A and B are shown apart, each in its own frame.
Chain A
């Protein structure tokens, strides 16, 4: 069955420190993978996506993610965190069984940033 696991519920990092948020997926074929960010009281904003090709994907706000098929992972990284990055981050798997499908979301990782 398709699934997405985000092992860390809550992470706290200091401003300026590097960040890595973990995401593991279970899917029988080549996955379509996404990272979304949700600020408090807001909707979900797409940070980046992986469909095929280069396994290192660049996104908005200085984020990047690396697809590793051998580890079934799609971890999100940022070299230097800003206070405005405090939010909840969701990894998602595109379930494209037909022409267009839905997303299967992980439970999310809440990021807190210390000054």
Chain B
């Protein structure tokens, strides 16, 4: 079975540019999570969705960040405009009651803003 699929795997962009990260959750999973990992702060939850509806976005750092889940098989995390301090690894993850509420992670999108 395919796991959580993220794209791009690596992105280098200039400050001020828009960045869009994409995620396809595991088929049948109805919860989707976006996490950010940095050396300083570790793994932080940015936002999560249940049944395509945002449940908790308290971790979204500021208005430059936005996330959408237009359907059960796709989500985006957008940063506009990007700043160097946004450089991090962004993980998408998904879960369902059928998976015992276990959260499965994608390989991550490694973002560098210069």
Contacts and interface: CB of A to CB of B under 8 A. Distances in A.
A43 B50 contact: no
Given A44-B105, A99-B50, A100-B95, A105 B100 contact: no
B42 interface: yes
Interface residues of A, number: 24
B100 A49 contact: yes
B17 interface: no
A8 to B, nearest CB: 14
Nearest to B100: A51
B interface, size bucket: 20 to 34
Q: Which 6 A-B pairs have CB atoms at the shortest separation, nearest pair first?
A: A105-B43, A44-B105, A43-B107, A43-B105, A100-B31, A102-B45
Interface string B43-80: 10100101000011000000000000000000000000
A32 B48 contact: no
Contacts of B43: 90, 105, 108
A94 interface: yes
Contacts of A46: 102, 104
Contacts of B106: 43
A77 interface: no
A44 B95 contact: no
Contacts of A34: 102-103
Given A51-B100, A100-B95, A106-B42, 13 more contacts: A34-B103, A43-B107, A44-B105, A49-B102, A51-B101, A94-B101, A99-B97, A100-B31, A101-B48, A102-B103, A103-B103, A105-B42, A105-B43
Contacts of A45: 105
Contacts of A43: 91, 105-108
A96 B101 contact: yes
Contacts of A102: 33, 45, 48, 56, 103
20 contacts: A32-B101, A36-B105, A42-B107, A45-B105, A49-B100, A49-B102, A90-B43, A94-B101, A98-B50, A99-B97, A100-B30, A100-B96, A100-B101, A101-B48, A101-B101, A102-B45, A102-B56, A102-B103, A104-B45, A108-B43
